[in-house]
């Protein structure tokens, strides 16, 4: 694990699994067509009823409609994998193993709140969004050639509702009353009364679709790990693999949706190859040797000092910084609130004071990072200053369940430290907090409570390259009297212990969206806190639960922003996280065999989506011996 988690970590991406499609922002444009009364039939849907692209659009604005098809792009992933089932709780799924599966609706990279029909031809819903009906495209079929029909959609929903991740099952049970097959190409979802319905059509429309016939014929088990993927309808199929080492995906020449306007200029590579490496340095050496061709650099040391090898100097490898307007991932050290030593908020505050971001950024990261300061960092959804009158209207009724200062103080910001690794001012503040919390320093320099128990904190880490970040933090905590230490585990142990919540502090991410949906319950909700793999800290807060409801019930962008500000303010005041860092740019390096549209969309790099292979450039590099 480098300073930022690799994008190709074989993981369950919550916005793909919990909400199906990526829901990231607000949009403007023509309204969906009314069919009469209060019922809308449209080619897409957005939270507040507007769409950028008209029904007869030819292609997305940010793609090259004439992009050539062919070639291969290859990237790296960390550790290994033992499964191609990204929906099983056990095992570690291969990178991109969810790419086989499409959904009724899909998102776009320049209008991130909207969802457009993909497998569906139209979407129909009433003004109150209490139900939604999808009419499927008759030409849609799975990669084995069998038709994709409404019964497959209903079957897939039931699989997720019965055998999906526990936190996701709770979410569906809370929101969805039922699904009905109204005809071979028509399926209807009805939502439970009393639930905010703004995002629910997009939520069910974004669920992955599996082949019912294949599942039954081959006696599949949705909850079990397996290296044989389920059958989907997507543009890529599995070509080959070496378990734990390499995965190759192949573009399906018979992909049913290749000529849809939403797919023009996309899915351009014949093959996508993933190479696994045990550590970050060996992965970089593999890139230099040409073992893979595209690298999203996450290590500041390498970015600052490593790209001086001959291929870069000759222009055979392109090194580029590309603006990134997406939300920060919320990467942070997370404290497990299930542990007794973290029950007192003053302990959590004290531990957070001892991480010196400013020193780390200057000495370890070459100054390329910004500090994460919010769960919606890099956007105007981040709470600032004291709560507004509109925020107070939401927060005041929750006063008894709020952390101290939420109603009166400015939003919590990460502490600022000085140029030295151990900031003496923050050390004094942290000492005062621990003293007040009953953790006194003993003759041996270690802090103990009234029972004589040592204040012990373990950092679980599965990456050699992250040692240099954690160890100074550990040293600072030791100076505070905390018995802090780091435990190195392998990739499989990290996955297992995190899922079982068997850790004190671990690095995790909270990838939020510009229009947050029901996935908030999986990250922060009380109901599934003991089961959710996303609610790493085990947060249980009645105030947070209520504010999530306010976010989901917001009827316009202004109301949404107010509710998100209030929620962000409360989450930050709980001090269960120690925010790390992010970059407002993509730092990428790639062999000069690819090209991309001149203007990239603000919310997606898209190298696997709408970049393409330049056969002439590739032939030149191969002739020169730069690539095999």
Q: What are phi and psi of 391, to 5 degrees?
A: -65, -40
Q: Residue 220: what are its φ and ψ, rounded to 5°?
A: -75, 160
pLDDT at residue 21, rounded to an integer? 32
Residue 593 CA to residue 597 CA, distance in Å, equals 14
Could you read off the pLDDT of 77-107 as tens digits, one per residue?
999 999 999 998 888 999 999 999 999 999 9
Q: Phi, psi (5° rounding) for residue 8? A: -100, 20
**Together in a domain, 414 and 384:** yes
Q: CB neighbours of 558 closer than 8 A, spacing ≥ 6?
A: none
pLDDT in tens, 355-371: 999 999 999 999 999 99
Cα 180 to Cα 132, 158, 310: the distances in Å are 11, 11, 61
For 46-57, what is the HEC assignment? CCCCECCCCCCC
| Statement to judge: residues 550 and 488 lie in one domain | yes
Do 291 and 275 contact (CB within 8 A), yes or no?
yes
Comparing CA positions, the residue from 109, 248, 114, 206 lying closest to residue 586 is: 109
State the residue range of the domain holding 603.
243-326+588-623
Same domain, 494 and 529: yes
439 with 447: CB under 8 angstroms?
yes
Domain count, the chain: 2
Angle between the 150-163 and 166-175 helix axes, to the nearest 10 degrees?
120
Q: What is the DSSP letter of 403?
A: P
**Amino acid 22: pLDDT:** 30
Which CATH number does the domain housing residue 253 bear? 3.40.190.10
CA distances (Å), origin 89, targets 85, 95, 250, 529: 9, 15, 26, 15
* Alpha-carbon distances of 398 from 196, 384, 391, 401, 403, rounded to whole Å: 19, 20, 11, 6, 10
Contacts of 92 (CB under 8 A, 6+ apart): 10, 79, 80, 81, 82, 83, 491, 492, 495
pLDDT under 70: residue ranges of the chain: 1-2, 4-37
Residue 598 lies in a domain: yes
pTM of the model: 0.87
Does residue 278 belong to any structural domain of this protein? Answer: yes
State the sign of the Cα–Cα–Cα–Cα dihedral 135, 139, 144, 145: positive
pLDDT computed for residue 4 by the predictor: 67
Based on C-alpha coordinates, what's the Rg of the chain? 25
Mind listing the pLDDT tens digit for each residue in 283-300?
Answer: 999 999 999 999 999 889
| Cβ neighbours of 450 (radius 10 Å) | 8
- 415 and 400 inside one domain: yes
Give the DSSP H/E element, type plus range, for residue 435: helix 424-436
Same domain, 271 and 363: no
> Would you say 221 and 205 are in contact if contact means Cβ atoms under 8 Å apart?
no
Q: 402 and 518: one domain? A: yes
At 585, phi and psi to the nearest 5?
Answer: -135, 155
Same domain for 304 and 392: no
Residues 450 and 357 in one domain: yes
> Which of 551, 53, 413 is closest to 264 using CA atoms?
53
pLDDT at residue number 1? 54
Asked if 248 and 340 sit in the same domain, the reply is no
User: CA quadruple 67, 326, 536, 106: dihedral positive or negative?
Assistant: negative
**Strand-pair partners of 241:** 247
549 within some domain: yes
Token look-up 């009805």 returns: 190
541 shares a domain with 392: yes
């Amino acid at each position: 694990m480098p300073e930022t988690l690799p994008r190709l970590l074989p993981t369950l991406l919550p916005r793909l699994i919990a909400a199906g499609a990526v829901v990231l922002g607000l949009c403007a444009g023509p309204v969906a067509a009314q069919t009469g009364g209060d019922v809308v039939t449209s080619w897409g849907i957005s939270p507040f009823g507007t769409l950028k692209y008209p029904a007869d659009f030819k292609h997305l604005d940010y793609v090259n409609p004439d992009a050539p098809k062919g070639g291969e792009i290859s990237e790296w992933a960390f550790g290994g994998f033992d499964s191609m089932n990204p929906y099983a709780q056990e095992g570690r799924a291969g990178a991109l193993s969810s790419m086989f599966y499409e959904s009724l609706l899909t998102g776009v990279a320049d209008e991130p709140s909207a969802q457009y029909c993909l497998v569906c031809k139209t979407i129909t819903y009433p003004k109150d969004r209490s139900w939604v009906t999808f009419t499927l495209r008759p030409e849609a079929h799975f990669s084995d050639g069998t038709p994709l029909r409404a019964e497959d959609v209903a079957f897939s929903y039931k699989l997720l509702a019965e055998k999906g991740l526990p936190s996701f099952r709770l979410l569906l049970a809370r929101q969805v009353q039922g699904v009905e097959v109204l005809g071979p190409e028509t399926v209807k979802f009805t939502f439970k009364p009393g639930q905010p319905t703004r995002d629910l059509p997009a939520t069910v429309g974004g669920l992955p679709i599996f082949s019912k016939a294949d599942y039954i014929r081959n006696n599949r088990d949705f909850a079990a790990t397996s290296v044989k993927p389920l059958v989907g309808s997507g543009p890529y199929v599995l070509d080959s693999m070496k378990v734990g080492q390499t995965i190759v995906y192949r573009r399906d020449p018979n992909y049913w949706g290749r000529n849809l306007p939403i797919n023009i200029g996309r899915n351009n590579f014949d093959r996508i190859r993933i190479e696994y490496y045990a550590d970050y340095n060996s992965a970089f050496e593999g890139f230099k040797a040409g073992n893979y061709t595209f690298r999203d650099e996450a290590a500041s040391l390498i970015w600052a000092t490593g790209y001086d090898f001959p291929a870069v100097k000759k222009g055979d490898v392109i090194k580029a910084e590309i603006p990134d307007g997406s939300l920060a991932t919320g990467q942070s050290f997370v404290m497990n609130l299930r542990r007794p030593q973290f029950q007192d908020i003053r302990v959590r505050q004290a531990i957070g004071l001892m991480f010196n971001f400013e020193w780390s950024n200057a000495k370890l990261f070459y100054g390329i990072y910004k500090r994460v300061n919010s769960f919606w960092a890099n956007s105007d959804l981040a709470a600032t200053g004291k709560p507004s009158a509109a925020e107070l209207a939401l927060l005041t009724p929750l006063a008894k369940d709020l952390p101290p200062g939420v109603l009166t103080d400015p939003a919590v910001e990460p502490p600022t430290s000085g140029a030295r690794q151990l900031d003496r001012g923050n050390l004094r503040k942290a000492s005062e907090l621990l003293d007040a919390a009953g953790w006194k320093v003993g003759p041996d320099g270690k802090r103990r409570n009234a029972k004589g128990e040592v204040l012990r904190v373990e950092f679980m880490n599965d990456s050699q390259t992250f040692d240099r970040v954690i160890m100074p933090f550990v040293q600072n905590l030791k100076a505070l009297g905390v018995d802090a230490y780091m435990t190195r585990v392998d990739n499989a142990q990290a996955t297992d212990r995190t899922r079982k919540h068997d850790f004190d502090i671990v690095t995790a991410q909270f990838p939020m969206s510009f229009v947050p949906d029901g996935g908030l319950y999986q990250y922060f909700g009380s109901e599934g806190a003991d089961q959710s793999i996303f609610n790493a800290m085990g947060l249980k807060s009645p105030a947070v639960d209520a504010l999530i409801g306010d976010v989901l019930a917001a009827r316009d962008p202004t109301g949404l922003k107010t509710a998100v500000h209030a929620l962000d303010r409360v989450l930050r005041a709980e001090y269960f996280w120690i925010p790390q860092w992010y970059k407002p740019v993509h730092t990428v390096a790639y062999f000069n065999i690819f090209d991309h549209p001149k203007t990239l969309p603000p919310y997606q790099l898209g190298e696997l989506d709408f970049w393409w292979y330049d056969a002439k450039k590739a032939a030149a590099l191969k002739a020169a011996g730069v690539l095999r």
